[in-house]
Chains A and B, each alone.
Chain A
């Protein structure tokens, strides 16, 4: 069965970076793009962007350019998202999700807390 297993919760200081992972199983990793979504109480669900897991090509929501960097490791069927120059506004739950037709399968989410 398709599973997207995300890494654990992160507590980070303002100005630092975090890198969260999304390990896929149950399907051919390079056949489906992986997208990332941010969820906060105030802003709801926001689309961050996607990565082509075969080529490594990326597409970002303008709002998250410079904030998020998406990468993949095909050898381990894992997608990564690095968030840089963290501020309290980056505190959220972050999900990875598989395309097509929007998103079909989602990871369980990772809570990132930015606090000094």
Chain B
């Protein structure tokens, strides 16, 4: 199975700050990488698909980049609703696998 190593596991940040979350795959996943946000009530929302395509309705402060084995999610200016858990998902090879998650918390 492809392992996805997400870092950091916890990210303290302030409102208005720019942050970046990393996701490293154990082998190339050819840009088949999504980013998800999970709120404390369990609601899961796709933010980015295919590495860098912004989901419809998702604010433009979210962006994704990467290639090969290294991918990242950036949030340009944190707003209060952005404090949540974030996960990456690779769908290049079965079984699809997730990163371990990053908890974005208010500093």
A interface residues with partner B (beta carbon < 8 Å): 44-47, 59, 61-63, 93, 95, 97, 101-106, 108-109
Contacts and interface: CB of A to CB of B under 8 A. Distances in A.
A44 B101 contact: yes
Interface string B22-62: 00000000001010100000111110011000010000000
Contacts of A108: 42-43
Given A102-B89, A105-B46, A106-B44, 8 more contacts: A44-B99, A97-B44, A101-B91, A102-B32, A102-B46, A104-B46, A104-B49, A104-B55
Contacts, number: 48
22 contacts: A44-B87, A45-B89, A45-B101, A47-B95, A47-B97, A59-B94, A61-B94, A62-B95, A63-B95, A95-B44, A97-B44, A101-B91, A102-B32, A102-B49, A102-B91, A102-B96, A103-B34, A104-B49, A106-B43, A106-B44, A108-B42, A109-B42
A29 B101 CA distance: 30
Contacts of B55: 104
Contacts of A95: 44
Interface of B: 32, 34, 36, 42-46, 49-50, 55, 87, 89, 91, 94-101
Contacts of B99: 44
Q: Which of A63, A105, A106 has the most CB of B within 10 A?
A: A106
B12 to A, nearest CB: 21
A110 to B, nearest CB: 10
Nearest to B49: A101
Contacts of B100: 44
Nearest 3 pairs of A and B residues by beta carbon:
A45-B98, A61-B95, A106-B44
A109 B40 CA distance: 12
Contacts of A44: 87, 98-101
